[in-house]
Amino acid sequence: MSKNLTGVGGSLPVENVQVLAGKELKNLPNRYVRPELEHDDDVIPTDNSLEIPVIDLSRLLDQQYACDELAKFHSACLDWGFFQVFDHHGVREEVIEKMKVDTEDFFRLPFKENNAYSQLPNGMEGYGQAFVTSEEQKLDWADMHFLITKPVQERNMRFWPTSPTSFRETMEKYSMQLQKLAMCLTGMMAKNLGLESEILTKPFENCIQTVRMNYYLPCPHAEKDEKWVPIKPILGAFVVNIGDVIEIMSNGIYKTIEHRAVINMDKERLSIAAFHDPEYGTKIGPLPVKENGVKYKTMDYEDYLIRSSNIKLDW
């Protein structure tokens, strides 16, 4: 692995949730109890009409509907920073479903088999937990598997499961199709910001793509007007967070949003999150958008990544 990607987001070893769950504990270990998440006063009821926007990519690409859908897309990025998107042609449904099945099958393997892919000291790739830096730190009730998928030369195949046997091939297809979707959406964001698409997409042409698979009981939420808005996942749609880098490059016109996952006590759940970051060597800072004043510094992406990782370690 390149020195650029080592030493960022490493974790101390902790007992895996798969092992703890097998002990049939009567009480959850204290490290997994988060008092700040026990109260629902700041959560908007699920029957409330407030829902995050849903974008149809086929309408964005169709001249007949593009104007209206672009306006809807701009509003989603401007007011929410979070949306769901349908991509009927780019990311094939069978690839999505196969990725889910292969990931679930991996996490359901005996612990000994999963543990063969465990993270190395100070490494972020592999099976375990992320950003664990102290013995007192609160933990997620979840097991994670984290992979660097792009650039291809940055992959460490030591961490790519061989069971199920189709996992590697499925991840390859999933990774490639997701990158195309991310580039398309980024180009549309540029258009809405009054920029040539290449200005915003170029830093991502040889992007760093990572995939984090979480096996836990997740219920993603987004915050709106200082309230948590439960997201009702739509079958076949992706939930998209525009992220910190786009917030910086848009000079704060588009804002990333705080989100969280809370435990569902009734059943297991799976989440697969893909992150698309600029290639190394890129300077990130506000682009020439039509807003008053520069709100963010320009810095090397490597410096930004280290700083943002340190912030995560303080959570």
Where along the chain do its domains lie? 3-313
Of 78-87, 164-173, 228-237, least confident by mean pLDDT is 228-237
pLDDT in the model for residue 140: 78
Question: Residue 32: phi, psi to the nearest 5?
Answer: -100, 0
> Could you tell me the pLDDT band of residue 261, with boundaries at 50, 70 and 90?
low
What does each C-alpha distance from 135 to 26, 34, 199, 314 come to in angstroms? 22, 15, 44, 13
pLDDT above 70: residue 313 = no
* pLDDT confidence of residue 219: 32
How much is the pLDDT for 34? Answer: 67
C-beta atoms surrounding 102 within 10 Å: 21
- Residues 61 and 67: their CA atoms lie apart, in Å, by 10
Least confident of 183-187, 253-257, 282-286: 253-257
**Mean of the per-residue pLDDT values of the chain:** 83
Give me the pLDDT at residue 74, please: 97
Rounded to 5°, the CA angle 131-135-137 comes to 55
Task: Compute the distance between CA of residue 94 and CA of residue 96 in angstroms, rounded to an integer.
Answer: 5
- Residue 11 phi/psi, 5-degree rounding, is -140, 155
> What is the model's pLDDT at position 262?
54
> Taking the model in full, what pTM does it have?
0.85
Q: Tell the residue number behind the tokens 């195949």, with chain if given.
A: 157
pLDDT at position 10, please?
A: 66
Q: What's the pLDDT tens digit per position in 297-307?
A: 999 998 888 77
pLDDT tens, residue by residue, 127-162: 988 777 777 788 777 889 999 999 999 999 999 999
Residue count of the chain: 315
Cα–Cα nearest to 214, from 100, 95, 315: 100
Assign 1 a pLDDT band (cuts: 50, 70, 90): very low
Rounded to 10 deg, the angle between the 66-75 and 167-192 helix axes is: 100
Half-sphere exposure of 205 (CA within 13 A, CB side): 9
Q: What is the pLDDT of residue 122?
A: 76
Angstrom distance (rounded) from CA 253 to CA 247:
7
3-class DSSP state of 141: coil
Is the pLDDT at 61 greater than 80, yes or no? yes
Q: Which residues contact 121 (CB under 8 A, 6 or more apart)?
A: 10
Structural fold of domain 3-313: Jelly Rolls (2.60.120)
Chain centroid, CA 177 distance in Å: 15
312 has a pLDDT exceeding 70: no
pLDDT for the residue 256: 87
CB atoms within 10 A of CB 226: 7
Residue 224 has pLDDT above 60, yes or no: no
Cβ-based neighbour number of residue 34 at 10 Å = 14
Region 272-297: mean pLDDT is 87
In sequence order, the β-bridge partners of residue 241 are 82
**Is the separation of the CB atoms in 18 and 217 below 8 Å?**
no
Mean pLDDT of 272-282: 92
Q: Which two tokens stand for residue 139?
A: 């933990």
Which of 35-49, 127-141, 245-259, 281-295 has the highest average model confidence (pLDDT)? 245-259
